[in-house]
Amino acid sequence: MSILCNMKTAPCSRSRAGSTHHPSKARLTASFLLCLVVALMVTIPARSADTPVLSSHIDQINELLLRGGISGGFVELDPFGRVQLKGSYEDEIQVDRAFSIAQTVVGIRWVSPVTPEHIKVKEWERRLSNLFSRANVLKPAVRGDAPPGPVRNRYALVVGVGEFMSNIPKLHFAVHDANTFYRFLVDPNRGGFPPSNVTFLTNANATRKNIAAALDRIKRMAGPDDLVTVYMSSHGTPPEKFGGVFIVTYDTEIKPRERVWHTSISEGILRDFIDNLQAKRLVMILDACYSNGAYSKVPGFLPPGGKSLGADDHEGYGLSPQYGRRLLGAKDIVLDDEGPKRKASGGSKSMGGQDGWGKVLIGASGAGEQSWESDQLNNSIFTYYFLDGLNRNNGAVQNAFYYAKPRVTQRVKQEKGGDIDQNPQVVASQSEWNMPLGQRRR
């Protein structure tokens, strides 16, 4: 009731302090009903009148579901005019198939990222029986809000994928991005990471198995006071049923279409790594996004016209805040869109005099945006400016990000067009995350 009664539009605010007036029961009931109606009108939007999804699209998807062996599932419009999965499904693989079918008809923009409730066998239930049968039991993750001590060891995984086994167009500068980032890390005058602690995977070596194995290796070796960096440059998958964009590897499969999610670096792989990592300093940089142009040569992968209904040619999808929250899994996520509240000092000390810490996820672009490459810079635009920021700020991550962010936005508009947006995103588990990604100069 307190939430409803605090609404400015609802005439049911409390009586003035000191008043002894008590409204009648009938008036209270009427006021409550009026508050409830107003609240429902505010929180539940009317069905979109300008949705491009037609009844013929709904019929087509339902017919394709039946052809695909999904007899218990169907779709209908949600309150926003998007296609939403309904009915019952045998397992999450079948849900992915249904979700994929819907995207091929109306595109990513008009498929609601909500998984059906009536899944007979959930994937997590399948895995539960195998959870305690692993040969190597993972050490418990370090919990609590106590900051770590000074950085002891540094570990990193750097991945760049520009060529793919499947019929996915090449990325011109993904390997170059990864190479320049790797060189920064192992340079004794900059990153200072021991080369033996840095795994560098590109193209044919950047398979799903190799990347997952490298993450497991870091997870086993890194201690609470260590610093871990993960950098990946590649294509992204279309958003899956929860809205997450996965990282495409060299051996990612695209036929049948839902295999693109099952054979990429998924949210589950990254979440397992983050949850079980003991290191209290983690910087994960994902320079990847979904772009309809990346899959334009794959027959049947995109809707007719090669994009979502009503979308422009620059349709893309980057890091969403919801995806970042799910990955980090922290109770108090910091979304620091406005930048540091203090003046950047060029170093990596926090306000308390200790090295910054926490788990940080940085994305090259936001939801609904692409991450662009530049023929003029011979780099991804984000990686170019982020590395420039690291070099200018003695490796301080937070300073480097906020140095890069406005320059990326400006450069994309300059090169790609004034109506094109790319806004790098950050999600962090601590407000003081200005970690020393480089060796501190003395």
Q: Which pLDDT score, from 0 to 100, does residue 339 have?
A: 57
Give 385 or 135, the one with higher predicted confidence: 385
What's the pLDDT tens digit per position in 258-284? 999 999 999 999 999 999 999 999 999
Q: Give pTM, 2 decimals.
A: 0.82
Q: Which two tokens stand for residue 12?
A: 């049911």
Percent pLDDT > 70 in the chain is 77
Q: Which pLDDT score, from 0 to 100, does residue 398 have?
A: 95
Is residue 356 a contact partner of residue 398, using CB atoms and an 8 Å limit?
yes
pLDDT at 32 over 60: no
Q: Which pLDDT score, from 0 to 100, does residue 232 have?
A: 98
pLDDT at 426 over 60: yes
The torsion region of residue 175 among left (phi > 0), alpha (psi -120 to 50) and beta comes to alpha
What's the pLDDT tens digit per position in 227-251? 999 999 999 999 999 899 999 999 9
What structural domains does the chain harbor? 55-124 (3.30.1340), 154-428 (3.40.50.1460)
> 170 falls in which pLDDT band (50, 70, 90)?
very high
Mean confidence (pLDDT) of the chain: 83
DSSP 147: P
pLDDT at 139 over 90: no
Nearest to 174 by CA among 163, 190, 195, 160: 160
Most confident of 6-15, 220-229, 320-329, 345-354: 220-229
Give 345 or 3, the one with higher predicted confidence: 345
Burial label, 235 (beta-carbon count in 10 A; 0-12, 13-18, 19+): buried
pLDDT at 391 over 70: yes
Among 168-177, 193-202, 308-317, 349-358, name the one with the lowest average pLDDT: 349-358
Distance separating alpha carbons of residues 247 and 290, to the nearest angstrom: 9
Q: Which pLDDT score, from 0 to 100, does residue 340 have?
A: 56
DSSP 401: H
DSSP 51: -
Chain centroid offset of residue 299 CA: 27
Give 242 or 2, the one with higher predicted confidence: 242
Q: Which two tokens stand for residue 91?
A: 């397992």
DSSP 111: B
Residue type (1 letter), 147: P
Distance separating alpha carbons of residues 285 and 269, to the nearest angstrom: 15
Interval 367-390 mean pLDDT: 95
